């Protein structure tokens, strides 16, 4: 169990680089659209190399063929699950510290419930109590880092992350539904989609039209070499290293309690993002309100994990 938790914490550390580096690029004047779009450009490059080395050239060819056969579906799912999700996260980095965004991002657990409800799932009433605890905690965190409440700053810093928290599980759920034969989506029952890296590549390719349209509409100034380098770091550290460590930890878990423990370690992103900003960006310690808000978030997440372990979170 200790080894699994250590792997999970390491993945949380690397995942947190997303929030710290996005904030760094924002403070240096880099446009958020490049922070978002370049990350997926590098992700596609890195994934093609990794899949080619690990699974072979034939798998790469089969993945490209699978994308071509269902290009419209992958474009829709990739634009929502990766495009809208990450564009909104990077936009919010212009208005809120990375650790605040990381804490707000924990709302994706609640958003996932609403997405599953949309597809017919039902949840026990206690889930909404846990959700309320997390929402209150996130609200306290988002209002703690400003000396005076500015509605415009709050909306631009917190609201985009809230929408992103819905976009990410929705895009991924579309893939799950297509694999299991939803009547409104094409049937994509390929074993290739069972591999996490393959699925990420397909969704990343699907997000490309979204990025191209967004860049053409916004017409941002060209990115600096520093921003290009930092987005490549995000793609490498968060997209590849963190994902590999997290999947490895879940693969080595053999009991529901071990899976729950691994999933719980991802909440460490908030702490790692805070430490990263203090170390590299000179951020100050959060005030008492923020600490109390983070405590509520962790308490709410803890309740989710406890009942997940007891296999009573979701009932079909």
- Cα dihedral 306, 19, 199, 31, rounded to 10, equals 150
Q: What pLDDT does 246 receive? A: 86
In a domain, 233, yes or no: yes
Q: Measured between alpha carbons, how far is 160 from 275 in angstroms, rounded to an integer?
A: 23
Q: What pLDDT does 134 receive? A: 86
Summarised one tens digit per residue, pLDDT across range 256-269 is: 666 666 777 777 88
In a domain, 137, yes or no: yes
* pLDDT over 90 at 180, yes or no: no
Q: Which two tokens stand for residue 55?
A: 């699974």
* pLDDT over 50 at 313, yes or no: no
Domain that holds residue 19: 2-309
Count of structural domains within the chain: 1
Summarised one tens digit per residue, pLDDT across range 99-143 is: 889 988 988 878 888 888 888 777 677 777 888 888 888 888 877
User: CA angle, corner 169, sides to 232 and 130, nearest 5?
Assistant: 115
Q: What pLDDT does 128 receive? A: 77
In a domain, 316, yes or no: no
Q: What pLDDT does 315 receive? A: 40
Instruction: With beta carbons less than 8 A apart as the criterion, state whether 230 and 25 touch.
Output: yes
Q: What pLDDT does 144 receive? A: 79
Summarised one tens digit per residue, pLDDT across range 43-91 is: 999 999 999 999 999 999 999 999 999 999 999 999 999 999 999 999 9
Give pTM, 2 decimals: 0.88
* pLDDT over 50 at 316, yes or no: no
Q: Measured between alpha carbons, how far is 170 from 112 in angstroms, rounded to an integer?
A: 7
């Amino acid at each position: 169990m200790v080894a699994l938790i250590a792997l999970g914490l390491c993945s949380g550390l690397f995942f947190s680089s997303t929030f710290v580096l996005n904030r760094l690029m924002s403070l240096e004047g880099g446009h958020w659209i490049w922070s978002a779009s370049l990350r997926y450009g590098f992700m596609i490059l890195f994934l093609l190399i990794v899949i080619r080395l690990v699974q072979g050239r034939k798998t790469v060819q089969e993945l490209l063929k699978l994308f071509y056969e269902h290009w419209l579906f992958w474009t829709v799912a990739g634009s929502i699950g990766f495009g809208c999700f990450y564009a909104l996260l990077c936009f919010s980095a212009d208005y809120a510290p990375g650790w605040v965004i990381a804490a707000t991002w924990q709302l994706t657990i609640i958003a996932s419930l609403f997405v599953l409800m949309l597809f017919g799932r039902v949840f026990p009433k206690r889930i909404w109590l846990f959700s309320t605890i997390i929402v209150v905690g996130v609200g306290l965190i988002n209002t703690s880092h400003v000396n005076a409440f500015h509605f415009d700053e709050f909306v631009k810093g917190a609201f985009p992350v809230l929408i992103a928290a819905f976009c990410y599980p929705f895009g991924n759920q579309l893939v799950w539904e297509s694999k299991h034969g939803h009547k409104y989506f094409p049937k994509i029952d390929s074993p290739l989609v069972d591999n996490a890296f393959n699925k990420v590549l397909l969704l990343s390719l699907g997000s490309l039209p979204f990025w191209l349209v967004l860049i053409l509409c916004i017409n941002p100034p060209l990115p600096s070499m520093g921003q290009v380098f930092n987005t490549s770091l995000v793609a490498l550290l968060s997209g590849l290293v963190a994902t590999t460590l997290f999947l490895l930890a879940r693969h080595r878990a053999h009991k529901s309690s071990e899976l729950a423990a691994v999933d719980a370690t991802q909440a460490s992103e908030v702490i790692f993002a805070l430490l990263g900003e203090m170390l590299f960006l000179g951020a100050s310690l959060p005030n008492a309100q923020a600490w109390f808000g983070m405590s509520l978030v962790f308490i709410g997440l803890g309740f989710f994990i406890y009942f997940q372990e007891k296999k009573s979170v979701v009932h079909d």
